[in-house]
Amino acid sequence: MDKLLIEGGRELHGVIRASGAKNAALPAMTAALLADGITTIQNVPRLRDIQAMGDLLEILGCAVETEDDVVRVDARHIHSFEAPYDLVRKMRASIYVLGPLLARFGQARVSLPGGCAIGDRPIDLHIRGMQALGAEVELEHGFILARANRLQGAEIDLVGSRGSSVGATVNVLSAACLAEGVTRILGAAREPEVVEHARILQGMGAKIEGAGTRTLLVEGVDRLEAGHISIIPDRIEAGTFLVAGAITEGCVSVTDCCPDHMEATIEALVRANVQVEVEATQVTARRLGEIRPIELVTGPYPEFPTDMQAQITALLSLARGVSRLTDNVYPDRFIHVRELIRLGARITRVPGQAEIIGVDRLSAAPVMASDLRASAALVLAGLAANGVTEILRVYHIDRGYERIEQKMASLGARIWREGE
C-alpha cells in the first residue's frame, strides 16, 4: 500500500491539462453494454475506478482493451448478468450496469454497491426507476435481482430526500433507451456528466430530449449501435488544481477544461479573494492576498459541488476569519476534518456543517485518507504546510486523480510516492 509525502511551502506555477471526467467515463463504459458491437471511448483517465469497471465488464463477458487514454469495449459476447460483491464493493458506480443489463437482456443481479465511506447513499431511486419501467426487483443476500421481458415506458419521479440523483438518472436513462414506448423522467439530475451521458446515448441511436433540464423524454428504440465516444474534461480535478494554485500562493492554469461546468467553483474562489481568469478552454487561479472567509452550501448542479467540499475546506483553513460550510448532499462527508485538524486547522463540526476558523499556517503531520475527495484535501493542505506531510492510504486518490503526484510535481511541488 502506497503513501504520499509532500514537502510543503512551495508555490505552484504552471499549466496543467485536465483529464477526462471519471464520472462521465464510468457510465460511458456501461453504455457499451447496450450495443451489440465494439464501443471506442477516448479521453478516459487512467484510474483505479476505470480499471475496476473494466474488470467488471470482462466478468460479464465483454472484451476490454485499454491503450493510453482509449478504452474499447466489445459487448458482443456477454454471458453473465451478475456484478459480484468483490468488485462492486470497491466502486459504487458498478451499479450503472443494472439498467443496461436489464434493458438489453431482461435480467441483472448486482451486488449492493460500495465506494467511498462518506455517509448514507441509498440506491432506492435506482430500484424505483427500474420498477416503474416494469421490472420485478428483489433484494436477496446483498444483491439486487431485477427481471423483465421488456421494459415499458413510464413516468418516473427521481426526486429523492436530498434532491436529484446523478447515478439514478444515468441508470434509468440507459434503461429507458431500449424500453417500449415513451419514458418521462421527472426530477432528473442536471450535472454535466448526465448531459454527456445523454449525448453519448444519442450518438448510439437513442431518442432523448431535455438533457440539462429537470425533465427528460426518452422514446425507446429496438437497438442501439456501438459508436465512438470522447469524454468531457473532469471539472472536479480542474477545480482541485485551481485550489492548489491558490493555497500555495502560486498561479496555476488548467487547460483543456470546460469553464461553464465550473461556475460555482470559480465563484467560490473569487469570493475567497482568489483572482480567476477564464478563457474558452482554460482557467487560471492566482492568490494575490489573504484568503477571505466565506459561507458555502453544497447542492445539485449548478450549485457548489459536494465533490469540491473537502478541497475548499482545506483552502478556507487559511482564511482570515470564520468560514461556514454546509453539505446538503452528503451531510456526513466531513471525515477529512479530523485529519486537517492534525495539520493545524481549526475546524468544529455540527451535523451537516463545518465551522472553519482560519489559521496563519499549517504544520506537517502524518495523516490518513478516508475517501477520494478527502485525499485531495490532504494533498492540498500538505502543499501549504510547513514540513513533510505523510498521507497514508492514498489508494483512495488513485480512484479519481490521474497521476496526481506527477501533475503536482510538474507545477513545482515537492511530492513523491513510497510504499508504506
The set of catalytic residues is: 116
Q: In degrees rounded to 5, what are phi and psi of residue 87?
A: -95, -45
DSSP string, 402-413: TTHHHHHHHTT-
Q: Are 111 and 83 in contact (CB under 8 A)?
A: yes
Could you give the CA distance from residue 222 to residue 179 in angstroms, rounded to a whole number?
Answer: 8
> Of 272, 268, 327, 269, which Cα lies nearest the Cα of 297?
327
Could you give the CA distance from residue 90 to residue 79 in angstroms, rounded to a whole number?
Answer: 23
Q: Which amino acid is located at 399 in the chain?
A: R
Q: Are 75 and 33 in contact (CB under 8 A)?
A: yes
The grid coordinates of residue 394 equal 492514498
> Of 398, 392, 387, which Cα lies nearest the Cα of 420?
392
Residues paired with 209 in a beta bridge: 217
181-205 as b/e: b if 16+ CB within 10 A: eebbbebbbbbbbbbbbbbbbbebb
- The C-alpha torsion from 101 through 395 and 249 to 292, rounded to 10°, is 60
